[in-house]
Structures are given as structure tokens and as C-alpha cells.
Amino acid sequence: MKDLPEGDFIKSADSPDGTYRVNAYLCNGGATVDYSVRGELETTATGEKRNIYWCYHKHDAEIEWVDNQTVIINGIELDVTKDHYDWRE
């Protein structure tokens, strides 16, 4: 998950308490590969970022915070303190 392409910014959504932000990016795979969406978790106080979501055959990101540490990205629920989603796994 560390060496994913950066992509083009789509949108972001902050957790209810403002501790975290999920930034979503659209990644173009080229002429023979479909688009992917990369979701990056940012800790707002420190600016620290890490990838938590990587999904193939996606062109947009629906981001919904359930609570201060649980987010749903395109139907995938993640605890941002420990989870990640990688379609390759």
C-alpha cells in the first residue's frame, strides 16, 4: 500500500471530531487498465498520511463517517486506527 500512484484528487471528508480526514484520489491505470481509487487517511493534527483504501474498477469515492474512527468508503467499512482495504488481497 506504500507505493501506490498518487492520482488526481477527488474529494475529502473529515471525521466528526476533526481528528482524521480521508482524501480520495482517482488513479488512471493507462490505456489497458481501468481506473482505481486510492483512499488516504490523514491525521489532521500532525499531517501524517497513510493509504487505507485501494480499489480497482472505481471512478469515484463515496465517503461516510460512522463515528470518530469508523469510515465507509464505497461500501467498505474500516476502523481507521487499524484497518485497510486492498482489492489485491
26 close to 7: Cβ distance less than 8 angstroms: yes
Q: What pLDDT score does 29 carry?
A: 74
Q: For the CA atoms of the chain, what is the radius of gyration?
A: 12
For the segment 21-76, what is each residue's pLDDT rounded down to a tens digit?
Answer: 999 999 997 777 899 999 999 999 999 999 999 999 999 999 999 999 999 999 99
- 69 located within any domain: yes
Q: pTM of the full predicted structure?
A: 0.91
**Cβ neighbours of 77 (radius 10 Å):** 12
81: left (phi over 0), alpha (psi -120 to 50) or beta: alpha
Instruction: Specify the 3-state DSSP secondary structure of 40.
Output: strand
Is the confidence at residue 80, as pLDDT, over 90?
yes
Domains identified in the chain, total number: 1
Is the confidence at residue 2, as pLDDT, over 90?
no
- 2 located within any domain: no
How big is the CA angle at 74 (ends 13 and 39), to the nearest 5 degrees?
55
- 3 located within any domain: no
- 88 located within any domain: no
**Cβ neighbours of 66 (radius 10 Å):** 13
Q: Which domain holds residue 53?
A: 8-81
